[in-house]
């Protein structure tokens, strides 16, 4: 696997450790009404992985992947509603979302071509960057949200 894939694998292992033991209530919890929940971060993460994978591999997402891909921007980058609701916030659903996104992304991470590394790709937040920059974004993205999960978990108001 490429160095991007190794970092991605490591950050996703840490992500799993941060949420695998949470209850549905904890996955839906927000410190304030306008904040994102842990479940929303994970759907966003899965959607972002699909975003980059489909663009860099030149493939179309299936219906489930397209819904996840909408979560990459919904409520994070634009004002569109999150395509998932509180009933979707279960460890099983979140792990399924991450597994599905991995099915799109891992083939790219295993051995990205020189053409993929050089291609210009629109990022989730909008700017165009080279493919190599996309791979580094994908590799570290889970680490960012894992840190946020731990901040929530240590909040005194976090459900027991």
pLDDT band at 54 (very low <50, low <70, confident <90, very high): very high
Report the SS3 class of residue 74: strand
Nearest Cα residue to 45 out of 71, 75, 13, 77: 71
Domain boundaries, the chain: 3-153
pTM: predicted TM-score of the whole model, two decimal places: 0.97
The pLDDT score that the predictor gives to residue 8 is 97
If one looks up domain 3-153 in CATH, what number appears?
A: 1.20.120.450
DSSP 125: T
Over the stretch 6-50, which tens digit does the pLDDT of each residue have?
999 999 999 999 999 999 999 999 999 999 999 999 999 999 999
The C-alpha atoms of residue 89 and residue 40 are separated, in whole angstroms, by 8
Q: What percent of the chain has pLDDT over 70?
A: 100
The C-alpha atoms of residue 104 and residue 49 are separated, in whole angstroms, by 8
Over the stretch 91-128, which tens digit does the pLDDT of each residue have?
999 999 999 999 999 999 999 999 999 999 999 999 99
The C-alpha atoms of residue 57 and residue 65 are separated, in whole angstroms, by 14
The pLDDT score that the predictor gives to residue 10 is 97
The pLDDT score that the predictor gives to residue 52 is 98
Query: In the chain, at which residue ranges do the beta strands (DSSP E only) sit?
Result: 120-122, 128-130
């Amino acid at each position: 696997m490429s160095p991007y894939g190794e970092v991605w694998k490591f950050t996703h292992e840490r992500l799993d450790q941060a949420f695998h033991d949470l209850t549905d209530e904890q996955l839906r919890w927000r410190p304030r009404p306008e904040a994102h929940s842990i479940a929303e971060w994970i759907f966003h993460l899965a959607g972002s992985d699909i975003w980059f994978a489909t663009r860099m591999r030149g493939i179309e997402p299936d219906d489930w992947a397209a819904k996840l891909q909408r979560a990459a921007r919904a409520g994070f980058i634009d004002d569109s509603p999150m395509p998932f609701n509180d009933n979707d916030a279960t460890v099983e659903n979140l792990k399924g979302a991450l597994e599905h996104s991995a099915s799109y992304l891992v083939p790219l991470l295993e051995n990205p071509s020189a053409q993929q590394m050089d291609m210009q790709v629109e990022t989730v937040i909008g700017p165009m960057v080279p493919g190599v920059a996309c791979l580094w974004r994908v590799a570290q993205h889970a680490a960012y949200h894992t840190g946020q999960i731990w901040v929530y978990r240590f909040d005194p108001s976090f459900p027991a």
